């Protein structure tokens, strides 16, 4: 077949093969759930004064059901000669939200593609619709194949829609829902929309989420506040027939809670609405106090929940995590300025109190800026005039997406890894003791040669965080490796000490890399077996693997080597481990690393009583003595 043959994908393949175009990544398994939830919210918001959404998650955390008390989705009948359910669930860009400018609807969905993509990327997708006490049902399997249908049977439910689905593990990298993530999504939606009461059921848990206002939501999530929470009433802006309705609640806090919403969708990556709030507050307080407050000063001081409802909604992309629409920034900035001027006139003493707080924060940040400059200098100093970083053995591969940094335990393993690595693998041997970052100060962490060398190897930069400290960031254009393989001896020192200490470095200083799914534990074989006649090399990672292997080698003679550490591995075994063909690399999630950090805290923290209780409850006297 010609390499240049033109190929056209059908709708199913457009959704399955090109999922990252729609959802940003195959890792974004939560997005389909968000789409179904958004449709349920839109239905209630635009047609009822209040409504209920019931969410149920199966015990194995794979099957999700979302019911809304709306009018029921019209899956019977046809539109322009095409079955409604085909338009809704089997075609991209088919929906009812293309005329929102004319009909004044406020919706999350605009493209008419979300649930269609979810259907094609699910192994099971079921729609139950209830209209006027009549039940209609569709069952799709294997990514959009219609497996059953029935229409207009009698039902006890008057109206509503239930969508049940199980993601296809051939499409997504993960299909098991994290319960805490689901709860966060539900709580956030309820916090932005007082019309909704959301019930969540999983195993023995039954939780209800409802807030009477965004002010209640902000109060619930605020800690260490300096002022009372204040709300600005909704204001409508009509620009070129586009209606935008803005409302906001805010307070001043030493640990500000900040969330922005567009059509009840939480913009976790912020964008124009967030920027508008910061810009408006900075204008007001800089003008009134004659101080040059920075964006960082405002970010570190104000907690807020701000909601924009738009009839011409515009997100940065299909994932709906941000918006770049500059009209939103301008309107929100104007809204904040005009309302804060009224607030100043009505609350002069409170206003002055906020000014003094901002001045204190500004002074603190000016000093912190000096610290950031020093750390930036340290990170850059680790590169010599030959553009090399001490300890780092770089790789020849230029494409960052293919570059993998192998962090190994000391010099002893270096020879084997260098012999077995490919041009895509860089190596950073840990030379010197890893600092326990669990309780260490920022100064101590950034004075560690091991930590600064590792961060430099990865292309780190530093900036302010919103709590006044320093955060490590990895801009896409400076990130030097796409994946990190941690390789340690599988003994008490390696797994019990070096690994958790290293993971704590990432947990404290570089959570961005954890959240982006870049950190892996690269397991190495425990046994190497050499066939005496053929000199064929075989490996076993665990004792049970060895026993299975022995069963197949009964008739042959072989020599078995027990591997005590990385240094004893052959270059062939290292090459095999780094090839990615043996399922020996485990992605370390934030949950995995948090468990490791907790264990480190138990064994190396200051709470002696908790450590003693753990030992007494988990070991008998004989075990301890031995």
**pLDDT by residue (tens digit) across 46-62?**
999 999 999 999 999 99
What is the pLDDT, as a whole number, of residue 626?
A: 31
| pLDDT for the residue numbered 248 | 98
Which pLDDT does position 438 carry in this prediction?
A: 80
The continuous run of DSSP H or E covering 127 comes out as strand 122-131
- For residues 36 and 68, the answer to whether their CB atoms sit within 8 Å is no
> Token pair for residue 28?
């974004």
CB 393 within 8 A of CB 412: no
Residues 6+ apart with CB under 8 A from 207: 183, 186, 199, 200
pLDDT at 624: 33
Q: By the 8 A CB rule, do 303 and 252 touch?
A: yes
C-alpha to C-alpha distance for 149 and 156, rounded to whole angstroms: 19
Residue 372 phi/psi, 5-degree rounding, is -65, -40
How many CB atoms neighbour CB 348 within 10 A? 10
Retrieve residue 602's tokens: 């138990």
Please identify which residue in the block is written with the tokens 């999700």.
64
Distance of CA 18 to the CA centre of its chain: 20
- The SS3 assignment for 520 reads strand
Low-confidence residues of the chain: pLDDT under 50: 98, 383-387, 608, 611, 614-616, 618-626
> What torsion, rounded to 10 degrees, do the Cα atoms 324, 330, 334, 336 define?
10
In the prediction, which pLDDT does 377 show?
67
Tokens of 235: 């204001």
| CB atoms inside a 10 Å sphere around CB 228 | 10
pTM of the model: 0.69
The residues, any chain, with a CB within 8 Å of residue 158's CB and separated by 6 or more, are: 130, 132, 133
Q: How far apart are CA 527 and CA 543, in angstroms?
A: 8
Instruction: Find how far residue 245's CA is from the centre of its chain.
Output: 29
HEC profile of 210-261: CCCCHHHHHHHHCEEECCCCEEEEEEEEEECCEEEEEEEEEEEEEECCEEEE
């Amino acid at each position: 077949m010609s390499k240049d043959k033109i190929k056209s994908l059908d709708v199913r393949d457009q959704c399955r093969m090109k999922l990252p175009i729609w959802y940003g990544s195959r890792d974004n398994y939560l997005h389909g759930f968000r789409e179904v939830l958004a449709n349920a919210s839109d239905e209630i918001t635009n047609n009822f004064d209040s409504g209920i959404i019931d969410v149920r998650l199966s015990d194995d955390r794979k099957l999700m059901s979302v019911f809304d008390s709306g009018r029921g989705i019209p899956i019977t009948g046809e539109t322009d000669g095409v079955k409604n359910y085909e338009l809704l669930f089997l075609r991209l860009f088919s929906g009812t939200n293309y005329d929102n400018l004319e009909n004044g609807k406020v919706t999350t969905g605009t493209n008419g593609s979300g649930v269609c993509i979810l259907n094609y990327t699910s192994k099971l997708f079921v729609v139950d619709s209830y209209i006027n006490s009549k039940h209609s049902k569709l069952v799709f399997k294997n990514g959009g194949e219609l497996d059953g249908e029935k229409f207009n049977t009698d039902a006890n439910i008057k109206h509503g829609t239930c969508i049940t689905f199980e993601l296809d593990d051939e499409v997504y990298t993960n299909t098991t829902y994290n319960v805490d993530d689901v709860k966060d999504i539900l709580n956030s939606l309820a916090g932005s929309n007082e019309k909704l009461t959301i019930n969540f059921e999983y195993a023995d848990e039954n939780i209800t989420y409802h807030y009477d206002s965004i002010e209640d939501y902000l109060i619930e999530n605020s800690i260490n506040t300096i002022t009372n929470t204040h709300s600005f009433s909704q204001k409508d802006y009509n620009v070129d027939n586009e209606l935008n309705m803005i409302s906001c609640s805010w307070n001043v806090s030493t640990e500000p809670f900040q969330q922005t919403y567009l059509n009840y969708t939480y913009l976790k990556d912020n964008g124009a609405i967030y920027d508008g709030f910061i810009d408006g507050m900075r204008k007001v307080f800089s003008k009134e106090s004659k101080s040059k407050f920075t964006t960082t000063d405002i970010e570190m001081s104000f907690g807020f929940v701000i909601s924009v409802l738009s009839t011409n909604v515009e997100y940065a992309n299909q994932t709906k995590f941000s918006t770049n629409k500059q009209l939103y920034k301008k309107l929100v900035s104007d809204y904040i300025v005009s309302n804060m001027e009224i607030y100043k006139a009505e609350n002069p003493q409170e206003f002055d109190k906020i000014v003094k707080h901002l001045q204190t924060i500004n002074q603190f940040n000016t000093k912190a800026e000096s610290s950031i400059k020093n750390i930036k200098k340290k990170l850059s100093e680790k590169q010599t005039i030959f553009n090399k970083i001490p300890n780092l053995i770089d790789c020849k591969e230029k494409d960052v997406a293919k570059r993998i940094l192998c962090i190994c335990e000391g010099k002893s393993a270096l020879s084997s890894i260098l012999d077995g690595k490919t041009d895509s693998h860089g190596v950073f041997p840990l030379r010197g003791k890893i600092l326990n970052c669990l309780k260490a100060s920022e100064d101590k962490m950034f004075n560690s040669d091991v930590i600064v060398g590792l961060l430099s190897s990865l292309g780190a930069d530093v900036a302010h965080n919103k709590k006044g400290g320093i955060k490590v960031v990895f801009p896409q254009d400076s990130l030097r490796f796409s994946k990190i393989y941690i390789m340690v001896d599988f003994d008490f020192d390696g797994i019990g000490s070096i690994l958790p200490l290293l993971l704590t470095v990432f947990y404290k200083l570089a959570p961005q890399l954890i959240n982006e799914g870049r950190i892996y534990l690269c397991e190495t074989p425990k046994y190497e077996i050499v066939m005496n006649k053929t000199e064929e090399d075989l490996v076993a990672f665990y004792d049970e693997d060895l026993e299975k292997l022995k069963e197949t080698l009964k008739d042959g003679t072989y020599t078995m080597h027990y591997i005590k550490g990385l240094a004893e591995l052959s270059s062939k075994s290292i090459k095999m481990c780094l090839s990615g063909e043996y399922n020996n690399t485990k992605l370390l999630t934030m949950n995995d690393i948090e468990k490791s950090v907790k264990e480190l805290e138990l064994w190396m923290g200051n709470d002696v009583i908790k450590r003693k209780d753990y030992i007494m409850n988990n070991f008998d006297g004989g075990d301890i003595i031995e």
